[in-house]
Structure 1
Amino acid sequence: MENNTQYKNTTRVQLELELGQQLNALISASHALNVRTAVRFDSALQPAAFLIVRWLFSFGPTSATVLAESTAMDRSSVSRLVNHLKRLGYVKSEPSPSDRRGALLSLTELGLQKTTDALKEKEFIFYERTSKWDDYQLEKFIEMLRHFNGYE
């Protein structure tokens, strides 16, 4: 029985190492695509600014505090990048309906359009990789990612 347990533990360790390798490959590929997408959005911007744009595109209006926490950036960096994005006309700030002292940041129409255009390349690459999957495989992959990411 001990050999069987040891085999299972060894197999589990190997599987976890392989999972780590595949996650690293996904993160690296996604980062490279994010940098290329940021350049397509506006080649004069830092990729970190596009991270803010991408977050606002995905999750909608939010405060600078939530942006800082969600993007793992310090508040001063987020503030500097948001101010730059505002000057370029990609982001706007409006009073928060729930807290009149606070502000909600969101994308402008220009920001939305440029983000949509920039993401087409990134999405194409990922869609191309899943294009040969049937609906069941794609649904299962999405379900597993949602579960893995804690969005159940």
Structure 2
Amino acid sequence: MQRNTSGNAPREQLENALGKQLNALLSASHAINVRAAARFDASLQPAAFHLIRWLYAYGPASAAVLADSTAMDRSSVSRLIKQLESLGYVRREASPEDGRAILLSLTEHGQQMTVEALKEKGSLFYERIAGWEDKQLHEFIELLRKFNGLEC
């Protein structure tokens, strides 16, 4: 589909409407993430839960990889990791490839707490699509894939 470049108002209105909906999606996603973080441990900042979710999804990593992957500065990651360690959610271990390198990983307690927090997050998400027909959900997935530049 080609973009209407004639400066025509209806296209501009559609693009503005899309922007509003994307903003609403991002805002709702952020709110759900903050609630999941509070469910995980209300004493932690949501940024700490962001690190937890990353470790849960991708496994052990160095603090530098965590900082780069989450777009957080290294000093913030270091501070948050110390807090997560003191609460028993994260542990340090020597890298199997290089015994001098330190990897961070979730403890069993950290894994269990993450699963519980993500279940609640998932239930909030799935409530929104519960009444959708399979065809609608498939179309939405395909459109998001295309929007995200992931179409094959």
TM-score where L is the length of structure 2: 0.83
Further displaced range: 87-96 or 72-81: 87-96
Partner of 1:129: 128
Q: Does 1:45 align with 2:44?
A: yes
**1:74 equivalent in alignment to 2:69:** no
Which residue of the partner structure matches residue 116 of structure 2? Answer: 117
Deviations 1:32-51 (A, max 9, x none): 11111111111111111111
Offset of residue 80 of structure 1: 0.8
d(CA) in 2 for partners of 1:113, 1:21: 36
Moved more, 51-60 or 99-108: 99-108
- Where does residue 139 of structure 1 map in the other structure? 138
C-alpha distance in 2, partners of 1:12/1:100?
A: 58
Would the alpha carbon gap of residues 77 and 5 (structure 1) be closer, same or farther in structure 2, given more than 3 Å must change?
closer
4+ long deviations beyond 6 Å: none
Gapped regions of structure 2 (runs ≥ 5):
none
- Partner of 2:105, secondary structure, is strand
Q: How many residues are treated as equivalent by the alignment? A: 148
**Who is 1:13 aligned against?**
12
Secondary structure of 2:127 counterpart: helix
Of 131-140 and 36-45, more deviation after overlay is shown by 131-140
Task: For 2:148 and 2:104, locate their aligned partners in 1 and report how far apart those are by CA, in whole Å.
Answer: 25
Higher normalized helix content (fraction of residues): 1
Residue ranges of structure 1 left out of the alignment (5+ in a row): none
1:147 CA drift (Å):
4.1
- What secondary structure sits across from 1:93 in the alignment? strand
SS at structure 2 position matched to 1:6: coil
